[in-house]
Amino acid sequence: MPGHFEPLPGGGAAVALDDVEISIIRSLTVQLLELIGPGPAEDAPADPLAELFAEGPSEPPADPVLKRLFPDAYSDPEGTAGTKEAEEQQAHSAEFRRYTENDLRAGKRDNALAVIRTLDALTAAAGDSGGVLKLSPQESLQWLRALNDLRLAIGSRLEITDEDDTDLLYRLPDEDPRKPMVMAYLWLGGLQETLVSTLMP
Q: What is the pLDDT of residue 136?
A: 96
Using the CB atoms, write b or e for 72-96: b if 16+ within 10 Å: eebebeeeeeeeeebeebbeebbee
Q: Hey, how many other C-beta atoms are within 10 angstroms of the C-beta on 69? A: 20
Q: HSE (CB half, 13 Å, CA atoms) of 106?
A: 10
Q: What is the pLDDT of residue 42?
A: 47
Q: What is the pLDDT of residue 24?
A: 95
Q: What is the pLDDT of residue 17?
A: 94
Beta bridge partners of 17: 131
Q: What is the pLDDT of residue 36?
A: 93
Collapsed DSSP state (helix, strand, coil) of residue 39: coil
Q: What is the pLDDT of residue 1?
A: 41
Report residues of the chain scoring pLDDT below 70: 1-2, 39-54, 58, 76-82, 163-165
Alpha-carbon torsion (132, 137, 141, 142), positive or negative:
negative
Share of the chain above pLDDT 70, in %: 84
Q: What is the pLDDT of residue 26?
A: 97
Please state the pTM of the whole predicted model.
0.83
